[in-house]
Structure 1
């Protein structure tokens, strides 16, 4: 099912995935697939004091642990070729986060392409924005995303920790 956004007031970062993948069609919560590392990465990087379970995703409407976060998707229906970039820009303008963290280079590529940008995004800080939010690309948290190298790093968590540090959280 396509999920509604979950966003705390004045979020520092909104995490954005790519709904439309076959693995997300029957979900009830964000990042609930088997082997998905989103919630453990969120905690280990310092965004939350404890690891939340996917069924606790509504807690992010908080803020939680004093941190204002949000969750949304780039595609609001089941045709992943149709990217709703205008809706995402509107959301960012409404919510005013400092950062839009796109979970996965594929999703980031679709967003960049929809904004008329060329080239493939790399992991980390980008030189482009969606509305007022600067983009940070995180490795996709899917259990299927198992690589030897994440843009020169041995694991996904280091990218999450970079984002947490930029947001004034975590210890690096």
Structure 2
């Protein structure tokens, strides 16, 4: 499992899931081929320079934290994964960000399902929060989401910056 990149007072925590068991074997966040995470992070204006996956710790310098919800156990085929929601919420309370941004609808719905909240259908702010921390849903950066044009994904990630500005 990758270590959390969190510190108290970050502006936003970007959260994914460790839904694939092999992901924990990777050395850096979002380092798989075809993943556009660092391009989206930079082009959206959330960080002022393009970072490489092996520079993932530098996101903290720009007020961005990274974490994942962690699976509690493997699920039966066709069953939704169960995540450590309590541990995830505890991490967020300690970091006290202005918002938590889920890195895909899949990640947001994984949280929602485990927290008894409504599933999301759209990008942006859902009807629920994580504890008292406002939530936001981003389009996924992975190569599996390359069917969505990159300019559209960038625009939706820029919406996160606008959302953060409204929070103060």
Sort the TM-score into its range (normalised by shorter chain). Answer: 0.7 to 0.9
Q: Describe the superposition over 1:74-123 as per-residue Cα deviations: whole angstroms up to 9, x where unpaired.
A: 11567471211111111111111111100111111110011101333421
Q: What runs of 5+ residues in structure 2 fail to find an aligned partner?
A: 76-80
Partner of 1:71: 66
Distance 1:155 1:79, change over 3 A: farther
Partner of 1:31: 30
Partner of 1:58: 57
Higher relative helix content: 2
TM-score relative to the length of structure 2:
0.86
State yes or no: 1:163 paired with 2:160.
Answer: yes
Distance 1:94 1:155, change over 3 A: same
User: How many residues in Structure 1 have an aligned counterpart in Structure 2?
Assistant: 161
Distance 2:6 2:54 in 1: 15
Instruction: Note if contact 1:24-1:33 (Cα within 8 Å) is conserved in structure 2.
Output: no
Distance 1:39 1:78 in 2: 29
Partner of 2:125: 125
Instruction: Note if contact 1:90-1:131 (Cα within 8 Å) is conserved in structure 2.
Output: no
User: What is the CA RMSD across the aligned residues, in angstroms?
Assistant: 2.3
Q: What runs of 5+ residues in structure 1 fail to find an aligned partner?
A: none
Instruction: Note if contact 1:92-1:132 (Cα within 8 Å) is conserved in structure 2.
Output: no
Partner of 1:145: 145
Q: Describe the superposition over 1:36-76 as per-residue Cα deviations: whole angstroms up to 9, x where unpaired.
A: 11101000011111100010011123x23xxx110000115
Distance 2:39 2:85 in 1: 28
Partner of 1:91: 91
Instruction: Note if contact 1:19-1:74 (Cα within 8 Å) is conserved in structure 2.
Output: yes
Shift of residue 131, structure 1, vs aligned partner: 2.0
